[in-house]
Chains A and B, each alone.
Chain A
Amino acid sequence: MPIYQYIFRRILFAIPLLLGITVVAFLIANAVPADPINANLPQNALNNEKLVTAFREKWGLDKPPHIQYLTYLRNLLRGDMGVSIKTKNPVLEDIRQFLPATFELATYSILIGLAMGISFGVISAVWRNSWADYLVRVFALIGVSFPVFLLALVALSIFHAKLGWTAGPGRLSFLVKDPPHVTGLFTIDSLLAGQWKTFRDALSHLILPSFVLGSFVSGIIARITRSSLLEVLSSDFIRTARAKGQIEPKVILRHGLSNALIPVVTILGVLYGNLLAGAVLTESIFAWPGIGRYAFRASTSQDFPAIMGISMLIALIYVIANFIVDILYFLIDPRIRYS
């Protein structure tokens, strides 16, 4: 199967899924609360007949549910997810404001997670059953067993509060101004603008949360790398390479690792979902102004438009991430082309 056909098929599969996601979001936002007007409008607007009528008309609340859903879908396609009760901004605008912070944190975390996880996995597999292997396995176990909020508290209280080595909560120190907006990622924008101080400050704020989140995923990556590398190393073609007299590290890197990483790629999509979940907890401890903290606040203040917007957005990211992973997988692993 050629690649474009594969992509086409995957898109075709994704459409019903995306529609389903909107149905779930619609149900939670409109069917669960006893009164959607109460749930979606701030209290002081409830006494205002004009606002209530306008809201009812906009979302078709006096119409039957399936029409309501279609209205909801139409508004959604226009990028209208409603207005957050808490921030009073359109949800889409809030997302645009908070997403880059989470994206930056998640990207650094996954890079750290991959770097740590893969190297630990390789060490552990190559020197199997050595003390290094056991150390890595204990580390991996801690990574998947320790609550991420405990790691965050330990990290904050030691490296920030006690030792003062890193910056504390937030994305930048209070006096440091945001770098000019280009990508929304402070570490990149500050470099583009040549603001070294801002860059260093942003990095100092990023280190703790991204290591906490990174070690959370590195445990999983280390385990998978280790087991798949062990499997590859015991396969025939590696044995052949060894028989040919090629030296160890080269063998491992050239043949072993590239094959062993396939399973790592396949779980990247799932991992990204995990990461976003961990981000909710990490962001609320590190006062990181991202969508995780936004979603948490929305859920405690019954801000339904916001929480549904976020749920949908993250589901969308998840679908896209898995889509990309599938394509990568398709490119890496020739076997799938025949299935």
Chain B
Amino acid sequence: MSSATQDLKLTSQSRLKLLKTLRKSPAVIIGLVIVLIWIVLAFSAPWIAPFDPLEQHIPDRLQAPNQTYLLGTDELGRDIFSRVLYGGRITIPAGLAVIIIDGILGLVIGAVAGYLGGIWDEIMMRLTELFMAFPTIILAMAVTAALGPSLMNAVLALVIVRWPDYARLTRGIIIENKTAEYVEAAKALGGKNPYVLFRTLLPNSLAPVLVYGSLDIGNAILIFAGLSFLGLGPEPASPEWGRMISIGIDFFDQWWMWLFPGLAIASLVMAFNFIGDGLRDLLDPRMRT
């Protein structure tokens, strides 16, 4: 995490370069295409899914993939294919929500701490260290134990455990740019503190936070699925992927019940990692291959 923070030194100049070289990076393109496919599939699930994801067909339970049920059925005769499609409607927004909320939270906290410096900076840094000392999933488990398991609480738990990365990243960039010429210029022209912060400094931090978010979204999805696998996420009937895999503990032999949702998570996370890695390669020549 900290190494990623250091690697992401993005300036407005490199943003231009980014757009130019994006086309040259096959990894990013492949990743984008897969993510796009998933978004389209999730969005159009109500039209393309052959069944309602909650519709039970008890007589057809535990069927291996066949022509009616493309990816087989589960223990209540629900269509796995439809459920996998609908699962994207839960996981993708949940992952995005975590990244967006943490991105905003991190930008604000990190920017204020970095800009004000001194004691505020010190407090923020110690606070982030504190949160980072608790391993993500354990802290998330404690939070869901206190609040009760649900989709919202799982997202909330992830927001609580992942904001420090974003705050530290933003803080680093703000401190680096604080003395930059254009900031000095803005100050010299009579800009007030909040104005300088929000009009000149923040926009420059936005791009690195976005890139870090694209790297982090895979992580967030994995932890979300993990919580859900443990029963700390959305409710049992939900076609959430992690939840669907958890039934696999009871059904080793019916591999289709857990393998397909598993592959769905893996392909989506892999695509996000392609994008994140590609972007990092483009932005950080040392990492380029």
Q: Within the complex, are A and B direct neighbours (CB within 8 Å)?
A: yes
Question: Which A positions have Cβ atoms within 8 angstroms of B?
Answer: 16-17, 20-21, 24, 28, 32-33, 128-129, 141-142, 144-150, 153-154, 156-157, 161, 224, 227, 230-231, 263, 266-267, 270, 273-274, 276-277, 280-281, 284-285, 295-296, 298-300, 302, 304, 307-308, 310-311, 314-315, 318-319
Docked-complex contact A307 and B145, CB < 8 angstroms: yes
Q: Determine the residue in chain B with the shortest Cβ distance to A27.
A: B146
Chain B residues lying within 8 Å of A16, measured Cβ to Cβ, are 126
Nearest Cβ on chain B to A217's Cβ, whole angstroms: 13
Q: Known: A147-B245, A157-B255. Is A314-B138 also a contact (CB below 8 A)?
A: yes
4 more contacts with CB within 8 A, not counting A147-B245, A311-B142, are A147-B225, A154-B259, A227-B287, A280-B230
Chain B residues near A142 (CB-CB < 8 A): 266, 270
| Interchain CB contact under 8 A, B232 and A157 | no
> How far, in whole Å, are A277 and B230 apart by their CA atoms in the complex?
12
By a CB distance below 8 angstroms, the chain A residues around B131 are: 24
* Nearest Cβ on chain B to A148's Cβ, whole angstroms: 8
Complex: how many Å from CA A332 to CA B253?
Answer: 50
B24 to chain A, nearest CB (A): 16
Chain B positions within 8 Å of A314 at CB level? 134-135, 138
Distance in angstroms from B141 CB to nearest chain A CB is 4
A-B residue pair count with CB separations less than 8 angstroms: 145
> Complex Cα distance A127/B284, Å?
22
Contact B145 A304 (CB under 8 A): yes
Which residue of chain B lies nearest to A23 when distances are taken between CB atoms in the complex?
A: B130
- Quick one: given A311-B139, A318-B135, are A20 and B3 in contact (CB under 8 Å)? no
Question: Which of these, A224, A298, A318, contacts B133 with CB under 8 Å?
Answer: A318
Interface centre among B1, B135, B142, B265 (most CB of A within 10 A): B135
Q: Which residues of B contact A (CB under 8 A)?
A: 1-3, 126-127, 129-131, 133-139, 141-147, 218, 222-223, 225-226, 229-232, 242, 245-246, 248-249, 252-253, 255, 258-259, 262, 265-266, 269-270, 273-274, 286-287, 289
> Main SS of chain B's interface residues?
helix
Given contacts A146-B266, A310-B138, contact A161 B130 (CB under 8 A): no
List the A residue with the shortest CB-CB distance to B134. A315
Q: Is the CB of B138 within 8 A of A145?
A: no
Contact of B142 with A17 in the complex, beta carbons under 8 Å: no
Shortest CB-to-CB span from A125 to chain B, Å, is 10
Which residue, B133, B226, B259, has most C-beta atoms of chain A within 10 A?
Answer: B133
Q: Is the CB of B289 within 8 A of A149?
A: no
List A contacts of B130 (CB < 8 A).
17, 20-21, 24
Q: Assuming A16-B126, A145-B273, A300-B145, is B138 touching A277 (CB within 8 A)?
A: yes
Q: Report chain A residues within 8 Å CB of B127.
A: 20
Q: Which of A32, A149, A230, A231 contacts B226 (CB 8 A)?
A: A149
A325 shortest CB reach to chain B, Å: 12
A-B contacts, 15 listed (Cβ < 8 Å): A17-B130, A20-B127, A24-B131, A145-B269, A146-B265, A147-B229, A149-B226, A149-B245, A150-B265, A267-B3, A277-B138, A299-B145, A300-B145, A304-B145, A311-B134
